[in-house]
Homo-oligomer: A and B are copies of this chain.
């Protein structure tokens, strides 16, 4: 996260703290539980005071994909709220979390009361759309190994403290657990990563990304 973005998040948070928080209800959600489910009406959205959640979609055959990951000071549920749609995926707590249910009733309500928050959310949607489309491009043209490296790097930097599993890394980038394991073992044998028990260490990020770039060229 860039510095300016960090500052913007803090501003949003300050903003929320001053004006809105007391009108919100506080939700405590336990690891593994859902904040909301795919298909439900999005008549509100949320702000994560402290925690880690993931937006997860499931294919009819059971395949799961981790669409987005939300940490402290992130909004969640805003996409469906803004689009005036049902939730298109489910929000699951990856660890015990504290979430505010925000008091806005409609998008124009949000525009009237807190245009800065609306602007912030608009920009977040624009960035998330880019990231989603970059992932589409990766699914289309790149090898699993490349996608796994991307997922590893992204998830680690999004939540350094969380122990991401092979399954979750695979669900983020469209790979099976076994494929993630094999790829990581290969990367370890190339000294591009190291393993400490179940956790993964990246000794030299640039070397890892250079290796990925080489993969992308030949794929």
The proximity string for A residues 120-162 relative to B, scoring 1 for CB distances below 8 Å and 0 otherwise, is 0111011111101111111111100000000000000000000
Question: How many subunits of this chain does the assembly comprise?
Answer: 2
* Distance A121 CA – B65 CA, assembled complex (angstroms): 27
Taking a contact as CB atoms closer than 8 A, the residue among B65, B119, B133, B219 that contacts A88 in the complex is B133
User: B132–A133 contact, CB under 8 A?
Assistant: yes
The stretch of A79-87, A97-105, A181-189 that contacts the partner chain: A79-87
Is A216 part of the contact surface with B, judged by Cβ < 8 Å?
yes
User: A88–B134 contact, CB under 8 A?
Assistant: yes
Taking a contact as CB atoms closer than 8 A, the residue among B68, B82, B141 that contacts A122 in the complex is B82
Which residues of A (40-73) have their CB < 8 Å from a CB of B?
57-65, 67-68
Question: Chain B residue with minimal CB distance to A125?
Answer: B125
Is A20 part of the contact surface with B, judged by Cβ < 8 Å?
no
Q: Known interface pairs A57-B133, A130-B79. Does A84 touch B123 (Cβ–Cβ under 8 Å)? A: yes
User: A174–B60 contact, CB under 8 A?
Assistant: no
Q: Known interface pairs A61-B141, A130-B85. Does A123 touch B107 (Cβ–Cβ under 8 Å)? A: yes
9 contacts between A and B (CB under 8 A): A60-B216, A62-B141, A63-B140, A63-B141, A89-B137, A111-B115, A125-B129, A136-B139, A139-B174
A side interface size, CB within 8 A? 51
User: B108–A61 contact, CB under 8 A?
Assistant: no
Return the 8 tightest CB-CB contacts between A and B, nearest first: A59-B141, A63-B141, A83-B126, A132-B132, A139-B139, A125-B125, A60-B216, A82-B126
Question: Chain B residue with minimal CB distance to A130?
Answer: B88
Is A217 part of the contact surface with B, judged by Cβ < 8 Å?
yes
User: B123–A132 contact, CB under 8 A?
Assistant: no
Is A118 part of the contact surface with B, judged by Cβ < 8 Å?
yes
Chain B residues with CB under 8 Å of A111's CB are 115, 119
